Structure 1
Amino acid sequence: MIMSGNGDGTERQFHLELPLTIREAWLQASSCLCASGVEDGQHHAELLLRHVLGWGRAAYLSRLQELLPEAAAAAYEAMIARRSLGEPTQYIMGEAYFYGLRFEVSADVLIPRPETELLVEAVLEEAKLLYGERASLTAADIGTGSGAIACTIAYERPEWQLVAVDISLGALQMAQHNAALLHVDERIEWLEGDLIMPLQGRVPVDILISNPPYIPESDMRELQREVRDFEPHTALVGGADGLDPYRRMMGMLAYLSERPRMVAFELGQGQAREVAALVEQAGYTEKIRIVQDLAGIERHVIGIRPL
């Protein structure tokens, strides 16, 4: 018998009484997740069931009336129990998709978000405008986490070199693993340390990109339990107002032999104007671009400094 969350801190039972068709198992799991307070429980129940079975969606939809194998049922019960307690589906499956690429994830790293794909897209656009189509550039990903930004840029731009920095050794190891899976590891240098400080004394980078911790401390208790209780707080909290990492990075630029020509940041709702001001004050006055996400939230700031 698998114990699972009841949405109010208590536990409830979840057990699949075989034989069941795949559709029947999905219906029971969906009901359990919805009762446990999981948003879009039907979708998550399907994702986990497909993961257990190792099927794509087309195969899954065409075989709903087949009986669920006993071994798959036991694994599915355990996954649904974990999900009902709030653990993110991506951690349970050990994977997430970003920019169409598969990344392995664990509790050492944030789960890559769709809005960060827009940051990568904007950086590639601005670099093309600034340097041309096939320029050989060096970009640094600060707070690389799973390596989603660094690995994706390396994958999309084979002529670029990347530097990936994180203060967490566990995160760096996960990022390196993902780079190897995507066959881009030979073009990425890995540095452990605090924000951009590891770049001191090194060959200058052309582009500095970061999706740093930006959630104000007082907002943590209001986050979804999936984020608040399971994702690493060091990658989430950005000080009292969420802006500490941006202030610190702008201050650290003085320690570099040469400032990057372009900086690009992801940020939280309502922070764009303040971050843009910090970037401008740091000398990035040739161009300041604020990028909205798909919900219309000002989510990214890109700054370019004059030569």
Structure 2
Amino acid sequence: MLEHLTTEARNPASEHLDSLTPLELVRLINEEDAKCTAAVADQAEQIAKSIEVIAHRLSHGGRLIYIGAGTSGRLGLLDAAECPPTFRSDPSQVVGIIAGGHSAMFKAVEGAEDSQTLAEQDLRNINLSSDDVLVGIATSGRTPYVLGGLDYARSVGAYTIGLACNRDSLLRTRADVSIIPVVGPEVLSGSTRMKAGTATKMVLNMLTTGAMVLLGKTYGNLMVDLNASNSKLLERAKRIVCTLTELAPEQAASLLETCNGEVKTAITSYRLGVTPDEARVILHATNGHLRAALESMGRLAGRSSNGRAANNGHSSNGNH
């Protein structure tokens, strides 16, 4: 059955792989990797639909859950792990599950991907519900563990997204939306950690980044909801506050400290001239959207200013 998968086929461009110089190897791999961008672009509409659903579910208390085996599972775990520091999201909001458990992140657990029932057990353990979105990641589109997970997710009413790199895959029949970037045969036949892995990572980046943007986690292209958990992120937070307030670095650092390291709170507090607690209330009213918070208060201030101007004009006319 594997022989029918494009990701398992031999790549004509690399049939003499072991005869190439290091520079030729690099150029060949780079040329093949360039095909990932077009393959992902071909799935733009499916990815966009997925982002909309994910953002909606997350905004109503649901979760985004990745499930996969091997490289696919590891990429899901990686994307999930990067959300809290990048978007200050709750660690339980985006979850990664890999066949064989977390130890499989570092060492392959033989046979785990062949079990459909194991996926159901893993999803029961995290109380998968109809509020959640499950993304089943399987390059081949036929991994039993992932198919079992998608089947169980649909049985409980969760929204299902299938991500594979082979066009005619069983996964299509198990998901509400299928994202299938077809990258073609790998440079090293069957090594799907290469192009397939790259395309998968690109899609996962889009899913979480897109959903978090819709949830108000950014201002323009600035990471205003980051969790400043180390010196690099603290410096980034300070730089963002400087950019959006025009404060000096030391002033931005002091403001951030006053606001418990919350970038959006610091910016709102300074720009609107309110206390950190008042800034939090304003942000809560706009569901955490910084631009909406700043613009809505700006409109209110504008109306107040216009009202004063009108009153002043009326008084002036009365004096004539």
Pairwise TM-score range, normalised by the shorter structure: 0.3 to 0.5
Q: Which has the higher helix share?
A: 2
Query: What TM-score, normalized by structure 1, do the two folds share?
Result: 0.34
Specify which structure has the bigger relative contact order, considering alpha-carbon pairs within 8 angstroms and separated by 6 or more residues: 2
Query: What TM-score, normalized by structure 2, do the two folds share?
Result: 0.33
Rg larger for: 2
